[in-house]
Structure 1
């Protein structure tokens, strides 16, 4: 029985773990938090800080895994990319991973190759690009970000200090704050082209820097999509990306768009379930295939189209959670609790209460549901 190491123990990686197990693999999981979902439920849990490259090399050498699979966070993919020298499949090099996931390196690469990205600001107090957004170069989930308007220039240094605090390298990037609608383009590369692709509209209701509400868009404008595709494929070619998932967040406004972040690991908060429930596409199977040295053929699948809304229940300030009172009738496709009554839940992005998938048949009712969720009227937290 082939032995697989899944490098992540968060609940978002549960579908990956379950698929590997159902496919007949001997599955191990690793991570540094014994209280994580998979750490508690998987019999083959290895307590290890997978950001420790030497420890990971020693682990795979000792255990002789046949395959390693990244989970649902950037650190997980980085840990796996650092093992490329140990002859594992489907992974970009550590150098390529750095270009993609370090915001400063990615912006420099994008400008060199003519990709559409927000302008980077070198000397913010001597130019007229406002508002600005300040970000850690290597953090995730909206951590350490600030928007600074013209009237708030005096707060810029505080924003820089905050961003550097959330960076492992104490480094931040300052760029123009582009306004528009946030989307994700989740696609599977094969031989330099897209084998399958999906557009998801994304919103942050509890925290403007953190996506907590999303749904699949089936009628995204084709002209805009062609431009987005062209930039992503150019990037894939220049970086010589391996076959597999490429997940890109971008902001669109009228006829313009800007690439914001790119990753090659599976998105978190059960993004895979959103795609699978909305379209019938086997997202996890497609994601895992390259790491198992397999091909995945999307054209064999028959797609369905179902209105599914994914919402992460969270709050804008730290509070004790006791219960949820829903203020409207819902057809709940799935609900995953992430805390218990009496827990003190931190503000987004550091705390989450639950993950909700709601299904609506009629399009107008789906639009109404979207508005209720975006206005945070769909439930009351006690």
Structure 2
């Protein structure tokens, strides 16, 4: 049994916490909010802002943890890398982490390796065929991200200010806005090669820059699958990435794809449960194993597939929550509530009502339900 620190108390890290306990480890959690899910249920909770790496390092050294496991936030993984300094398993070097976490550094790396990514521009050089997108290099959940018409200097200047304000470092990117289908790729690598992977369709309905609806793809265009897998393995070899999860997002259009973001932490909003419910693969447990020095299984688990949609119930305008009115019957596989009656629910991504997993009997039925989610025609959120 190991003494493990999970650096996150958010509900999305709950499956990781459960997996660690199921493995028999003494599991501690750290986070600043005592009202967070894991802060309330864990037997070993440390109240602390883990972005303060000095305090986190003091806790790690004092308690002599055998392993530290990042949760489902970028800050969590960054803090673990800073504190580890090469002492703990499953964590990349600072240099490798920066190369994929910082969007500007990632774009430079992709260009160096000849991998597909949106075209980059400066504030004064924006030769693009249509529209531009401006985003912070180190923010998340669409914060500070704006699409602007090419050739509109006023809109571009405003978008840059928004990105600068949302960035902890004041740094931003100006890129070609590539239209297409957002897709994610979750790959578990072993010795620089992919051992298990999953492709997921992703969409945002309440906020175009925040994923709230998704499902595992039972198949994907073979040329795209091959290209994305090859890109991940190239990056792993070039950066010397340690064994574990490499999660990426990319845009597809026809046979082409463009890489957008790459992370090494577990995705949020119970993404791990979407994979587990759809395929039976123990995603949260596999994620935790790399930080414990345990090898991933050599072979895939027996194939099975369930038709499951994950949807985060959220709003594009604020309201005081009364109830959720459903417009059609649903096979609700799982529901995780995140708001109470009377709570003020702010627009996405500031707050969410809950996360649901809905099951259908076949792919055609799943596709029909998915379209209704995209049209926001499955439920209504009523205001108090």
> Under TM normalisation by the shorter chain, which class is it?
over 0.9
Question: Structure 1 length normalisation: TM-score?
Answer: 0.97
CA distance in 1, matches of 2:86, 2:182: 38
Greater shift in the superposed pair: 60-69 or 84-93? 84-93
Do the aligned residues in 1 keep the contact of 2:128 with 2:176 (CA within 8 Å)?
A: no
Matched residue, 1:265: 265
Q: Please name the residue that 2:282 is paired with.
A: 282
Gaps of at least 5 residues in structure 1 are none
Moved more, 138-147 or 294-303: 294-303
CA displacement at 1:298 relative to structure 2: 5.1
Residues 196, 298 of structure 1: 8 Å contact kept: no
Map 1:352-367; keep pairs closer than 5 Å. Answer: 352-367=352-367
- Name the TM-score, length of structure 2 as normaliser: 0.97
Residues of 2 paired with 1:126 and 1:300: CA distance? Answer: 46
SS of 1:20's equivalent in the other structure is helix
Cα contact 1:133–1:174 (8 A) shared by 2: yes
Aligned to 1:237: 237
Distance verdict in 2 for CA 1:64–1:328, change over 3 Å: same
Give the Cα–Cα distance (whole angstroms) in 1 for the partners of residues 234 and 126 of structure 2: 33
Deviation at 1:363, TM superposition (A): 2.5
Write the distance in 2 (CA, Å) between the matches of 1:203 and 1:185: 14
Match of 1:372 in 2: 372
Could you list the per-position Cα deviations for residues 304-352 of structure 1 after superposition, in whole angstroms to 9, with x for gaps in the alignment? 1000000000001111111001101100000011000111111101110
1:110-165 CA deviation, whole Å, 9 max, x = no partner? 11111111111014455344300000110011111000013644211111111111
Deviations 1:249-282 (A, max 9, x none): 0001112110000000110001010001000111
Evaluate the alpha carbon distance shift between residue 127 and residue 47 of structure 1 in structure 2; reply closer, same or farther with a 3 A threshold.
same
Give every structure 1 segment of 4 or more consecutive aligned residues whose post-TM-superposition deviation is greater than 2 Å: 83-86, 123-130, 150-153
Shift of 1:236: 0.9
Contact 1:84 1:93 in 2 (8 A): no
Q: Report how many aligned residue pairs link the two structures.
A: 382
* Alpha-carbon distance between aligned partners in 2 of 1:34 and 1:137, rounded to the nearest angstrom: 30
Q: Which runs of 5+ in 2 are unaligned?
A: none
Q: Which residue of 1 aligns with 2:33?
A: 33
Which deviates more, 118-127 or 21-30? 118-127
Distance 1:109 1:43 in 2: 42
Partner of 1:159: 159
Which residue in the other structure is 1:13 paired with?
Answer: 13
Q: Alpha carbon RMSD of aligned pairs, Å?
A: 1.3
Q: Which whole-Å CA distance do the structure 2 matches of 1:271 and 1:298 have between them?
A: 23
Q: What is residue 310 of structure 1 aligned with on the other side? A: 310
> Displacement of 1:369 after TM fit?
0.4
Q: 2:299 matched to 1:299? A: yes
For residues 68-111 of structure 1, the C-alpha deviation after alignment (integer angstroms, 9 at most, x for no partner) is 00100111111111123261101101221111111111111111
Q: Equivalents in 1 of 2:357, 2:123: separation in Å?
A: 44
**Correspondence for 1:251:** 251
